[in-house]
Structure 1
């Protein structure tokens, strides 16, 4: 990618938690908001690409003032129109065989499935800071009765390393998973769905060249997105495997590392 003063990325994909938003303070800094606004004002397509549900993504769009383009939720399983706040596309999978497999591998896990735009069905309540929107406790039979875009398994009391070891080499039925490095949280979405695959569809529709794309993230679910981008940035606190995937490593989210990266083109 050219990095001359005249060059500006045309499609910018940004993770939320750990990139735009500091998980410790649960805030988006004024510096980050201003940097995103400068990129939008320069004519670039800024896309929020997150593992969050639709309900967890909407407040971020509001805080950033994003009123056009697209947002990708649930690791790319859901696309929103940022102007209307309505869903454009949803991909789903059968949660029944996935629940059976994960229950055996991660005994004692609490499960949630996303109900797009209304909340989540849960086997027992999740902490509000972990699962956005209303929760309704149901039995397993109801939880797995319909296809869903996203399932969460929260293996409380265990480390992410233990979860990675328990799932090492595991292939889930018609789905794929990522492990959050802030908590022992496994996100499952349809097979073949990643932030990277969803962004590639969007890039093609917009007619933007691969070399004109930019992505920033910090988690396991950002790896495919970072591999997809013409220029990719890993946040400073990201695990080594994520940092190794990116074109460059910037400062941590607490240090407004995203601002440092975007300011290269948007000042």
Structure 2
């Protein structure tokens, strides 16, 4: 059982991205990081994974959130109750809006291919090239057929492009009907409902837990972490982070391959660094 009396002064919650931040480049959690997360929970800190990953990719790591058993997935579109194995909050793009956004993006940015994440799974157009092996149950079909339910994330790819280079065109095409971000160095853009970010859902969760933003320490590495890094009372970008994340964060941690998050947690628990 955690002991709040052991928590470092001014800290109640650790919010961390996964890929490029908590996980090493090979996608694993190091033994040192596993221990640091367990020590944080034992000291009374809530540990929340805040990831762009869909539920099916995040669930394999849920054992390490501990405590209240909550995780934020799909860039804030889903707050998942790990213990109850159900959604506690869904912040999706409604079907008609998703259809309008997809059509507008395709018209404004030629060569884009679309895919959708829903609570029930993943669907992609025939020519969409996924960045990872498809999981069982993934559907291929026309965009209009795939959008048969509220969409957690609308995924946009333009092969041969880099997300930084065409993101502004996609933002303009959405006309305020979606939040546009990205979490890779490739061409993938990730669209959520208006106002839905890692930060806005983390803020809702913290309000439920009675945690002030000043008591939150956050870690991230990519543009989809920017809002969270700016919102948290103390934020760290990884040394391997996108330049925008480095500019948004208060501090810089060691790289993900150097156990940067674990190092900071260890320092917090030892009282070697202050927050705020």
1:46–1:6 CA distance, 2 compared to 1 (3 A): closer
In the alignment, what sits opposite 1:150?
Answer: 153
For 1:65 and 1:200, locate their aligned partners in 2 and report how far apart those are by CA, in whole Å.
Answer: 18
> Residue 53 of structure 2: SS of its match in structure 1?
coil
> Residue 87 of structure 1: SS of its match in structure 2?
strand
For 2:38 and 2:15, locate their aligned partners in 1 and report how far apart those are by CA, in whole Å.
Answer: 14
> Residue 88 of structure 2: SS of its match in structure 1?
strand
Q: Is 2:256 the counterpart of 1:259? A: no
Deviations 1:7-65 (Å, cap 9, x if unpaired)? 2621111101111113x312221121111111111111111101111111101213x26
For 2:52 and 2:65, locate their aligned partners in 1 and report how far apart those are by CA, in whole Å.
Answer: 20
In the alignment, what sits opposite 1:19?
Answer: 21
8 Å Cα contact 1:123-1:137 kept in structure 2: yes
Worse overlay, 158-167 or 96-105: 158-167
Structure 1 position 96, deviation (Å): 0.6
8 Å Cα contact 1:232-1:247 kept in structure 2: yes
The structure 1 residue matched to 2:121, chosen from 119, 122, 125, is 119
8 Å Cα contact 1:92-1:148 kept in structure 2: yes
8 Å Cα contact 1:232-1:248 kept in structure 2: yes
Deviations 1:152-190 (Å, cap 9, x if unpaired)? 112222123322354465544421110233221111111
- TM-score, structure 1 normalization: 0.89
In the alignment, what sits opposite 1:108?
Answer: 111
For 2:135 and 2:179, locate their aligned partners in 1 and report how far apart those are by CA, in whole Å.
Answer: 22
**What is the RMSD of the two structures over their aligned residues, measured on CA atoms?**
2.2
Deviations 1:199-229 (Å, cap 9, x if unpaired)? 1111111111222111100010101101111
Q: Structure 2: which 5+ residue stretches go unaligned?
A: 1-6, 271-276
In the alignment, what sits opposite 1:32?
Answer: 33
8 Å Cα contact 1:179-1:187 kept in structure 2: yes
Equivalenced residues, count: 260
In the alignment, what sits opposite 2:42?
Answer: 41
1:77–1:130 CA distance, 2 compared to 1 (3 A): farther
8 Å Cα contact 1:235-1:253 kept in structure 2: yes
1:65–1:168 CA distance, 2 compared to 1 (3 A): closer
8 Å Cα contact 2:179-2:191 kept in structure 1: yes
8 Å Cα contact 1:119-1:133 kept in structure 2: no
For 1:133 and 1:229, locate their aligned partners in 2 and report how far apart those are by CA, in whole Å.
Answer: 37
For 1:187 and 1:156, locate their aligned partners in 2 and report how far apart those are by CA, in whole Å.
Answer: 15
1:168–1:128 CA distance, 2 compared to 1 (3 A): closer
> Residue 188 of structure 1: SS of its match in structure 2?
strand
Deviations 1:81-120 (Å, cap 9, x if unpaired)? 121221111112121111112212332223211121x321
> Residue 47 of structure 1: SS of its match in structure 2?
strand
1:265–1:130 CA distance, 2 compared to 1 (3 A): farther
For 1:214 and 1:84, locate their aligned partners in 2 and report how far apart those are by CA, in whole Å.
Answer: 26
Worse overlay, 30-39 or 131-140: 131-140
Whichever structure has more helix as a proportion of its residues is 2
1:264–1:130 CA distance, 2 compared to 1 (3 A): farther
